[in-house]
A and B are shown apart, each in its own frame.
Chain A
């Protein structure tokens, strides 16, 4: 393999790891609602969405493992890496908070996934395009689910409005890194494998502005400080705690089978 192919492969591996990790970590967070959601329909909905996230994570991590070609499986990637090796955006690892916080995060992240997969399904990389096209269909349902809750709570009671606005304000600083074109992503952009993050941003802003204004919510100011670093393995203190729970079984009993 020559250097160029090698660089392209590394870039693709990093990108797939990011996509897989976002969904693995968010899926785990959503699963924390199982048995705890405010109503049974939401318990079922959040568990279903968590499952879709895990399925998508599985597809991306399996592909990442294949690209890496070092004998690691998707399960090895999920259960035997430490926090610093995880490439998920920080927004996905934050604790679930109250129901408004969970829904606001779902809304921000799912709107982003909807736009990303819409572009990624046109990728020159056929396998990446296929996984994105598949995931996009699931994301449409997730997007409606979270957007409707943003509407209901934002334009609901005084209490629900305050809580939803608070969630939006708290989460805003974690939305910036979803649109950065950092690291090796440039190589993939040049190859026509992945879209530019900065081009997805206005599309995302347009979609969320539409729902937030209908929900009588205020969009935080653009120039606010934005957290970043997830894709480089820089995380909040919360990720380590999440991993300790998610990985304990696999690490205590390596190779365990049902």
Chain B
């Protein structure tokens, strides 16, 4: 049976990440919990990166989306633990990223001691699937992405960093 909580989690699938609009905040694992008590809702979220400038927009969107479904008293709580990780991205979410032109993250977290001068990520081009790609910059247009170049189809592309 579908509970009220499931219904609310369904509404939250409508809230897309403003910086990676291919994914919802549910796909990304930003929403950690929803508590319902009568007319009051408490939505617990966690930031992807601590400086993620989209967090404010995401909070506003959660409130306005739930309001449009009739919930007027929404409180948002931010937690840091457990720490957000790209391993929470489902296969479906990874597929959506690739379709959007962003190479999805490898399925493991980054190493504790990231080795110097060696790239341990194996990244395939989201356009032509070639594995012959090269890292251009570890930092990209947002905190969660790195810049790559595909030697096969000669297209630059972004990689969602494992984190």
- List residues of chain A with CB under 8 Å of any chain B CB: 41, 44-45, 48-49, 51-56, 58-59, 126-127, 129-131, 133-135, 137-138, 140-141, 143-145, 147-148, 151, 211
Contacts and interface: CB of A to CB of B under 8 A. Distances in A.
Interface of B: 47, 49-53, 79-81, 83-85, 109-117, 136-141, 143, 147, 161, 163
A126 B79 CA distance: 11
Contacts of B137: 41, 44-45
A149 B90 CA distance: 35
B114 A52 contact: no
Contact of A58 (B50, B111, B140): B50
Given A48-B143, A148-B117, A130 B50 contact: no
A61 to B, nearest CB: 12
- Chain A, interface SS category: helix
Nearest to A60: B50
A134 B49 CA distance: 8
Nearest to A136: B83
Given A41-B137, A45-B137, A141-B138, A55 B114 contact: no
9 contacts: A48-B140, A52-B143, A58-B51, A59-B80, A135-B50, A137-B83, A137-B85, A145-B139, A151-B116
A59 B50 contact: yes
B42 to A, nearest CB: 18
A145 B110 CA distance: 14
A179 to B, nearest CB: 21
Contacts of B117: 148, 151
A52 B144 CA distance: 11
Contacts of B49: 51-52, 55, 138
Contacts of A147: 116
Contact of B51 (A52, A127, A130, A211): A52
Given A45-B138, A130-B79, A131-B80, A51 B53 contact: yes
A143 B115 CA distance: 10
A41 B50 contact: no
Nearest to B50: A55
B140 to A, nearest CB: 7
Contacts of B114: 140-141, 143-144
Q: Which of A45, A48, A51, A143 has the most CB atoms of chain B within a 10 A radius of its CB?
A: A48
Contacts of A145: 138-139
Contacts of B83: 130, 133-134, 137
A134 B140 contact: no
Contacts of A141: 110, 114, 138, 161
Given A44-B140, A130-B80, A148 B163 contact: no
Nearest to B145: A48
Given A44-B141, A137-B109, A143-B114, 5 more contacts: A55-B49, A133-B80, A133-B81, A137-B83, A145-B138
Given A129-B81, A130-B79, A151-B117, A140 B52 contact: no
Nearest to B112: A140
Contacts of A51: 49, 51, 53, 143
A47 B1 CA distance: 48
